[in-house]
Amino acid sequence: MTVIAMPTDEEPQVTNIAIENIRYITENRVLTSAEASFLTELTILAEPGNRLKTTSVREIAKKLKRSERRTRDLLRSLLRKSILFEGGNQKGIFIHPEIMVVGDPENVPLWLVEEVMKLRQRKEGPAWPLVLMPGRRRGVWRWRG
């Protein structure tokens, strides 16, 4: 008889995608098909807190099995659209947490929300329907308007 042990303490790493904001991207054609596909692949290389583990184009291209040139073009394009952004206080490249959150979406750290607020103040990036606002200890999700 095969007995399957089901440990209860392990959880897979997940990327939480904000449905309303993805719908906004689809409806307003914010991203091309290639960019959307690349963005999803990039989440694999992100750690909780949405920071990319590596910023080297060569490494990213190697891990995602893409050409360096294409990877560079797509990264540049996503940075221009503010889907990816360079941190101000924290070093590194981040995936915009209002699109997808690596880890728990109810536990977005305040420093990441501050980075998003700065982007919003500079009016960079689309006007997402679902936005992150600073809460007392972590980010909270609110509908725009």
Partner 1 sequence: MAFGAHAGQTAGGVAMERLTTLRRRLREAEVRARNQDYSWADGLLEEAERAERRANERSFMLIRRRQKNNAWFSQVISENFFCLTRHEYMTGAEKALLIDLLSLLELGTNAIVHPDQNRFCTVTEIAELLKRKLRNTRELINKLIEKGIIYEFVDPSQIKEYGRVITERPLYVNPEIAYAGDRNKVNAVMARQVIQYDHIKRNKINLPWKLEYEPNAEYARLIHQKKRRK
Distance separating alpha carbons of residues 63 and 48, to the nearest angstrom:
18
With respect to partner 1, which residue has the nearer C-beta, 10 or 122? 10
Based on the shown chain and the rule CB under 8 A, indicate whether residue 65 belongs to the binding site for partner 1.
yes
Q: Taking the C-alpha atoms of 96, 132, 119 and 43 in order, what is their torsion angle to the nearest 10 degrees?
A: -10
Q: How far is the CB of 95 from partner 1 (least distance, A)?
A: 12
CB 126 within 8 A of CB 24: yes
Based on the shown chain and the rule CB under 8 A, indicate whether residue 64 belongs to the binding site for partner 1.
yes
CB 108 within 8 A of CB 115: no
Q: How many CA atoms lie within 13 A of 40 on its CB side?
A: 9
Q: Which of residues 37-56 bind partner 1 (CB under 8 A)?
A: 37-41, 43-44
Based on the shown chain and the rule CB under 8 A, indicate whether residue 89 belongs to the binding site for partner 1.
no
Residues interacting with partner 1, by CB under 8 A? 2-7, 10-20, 22-23, 26-27, 29, 33-34, 36-41, 43-44, 64-65, 100-102, 105-106, 130, 140-141
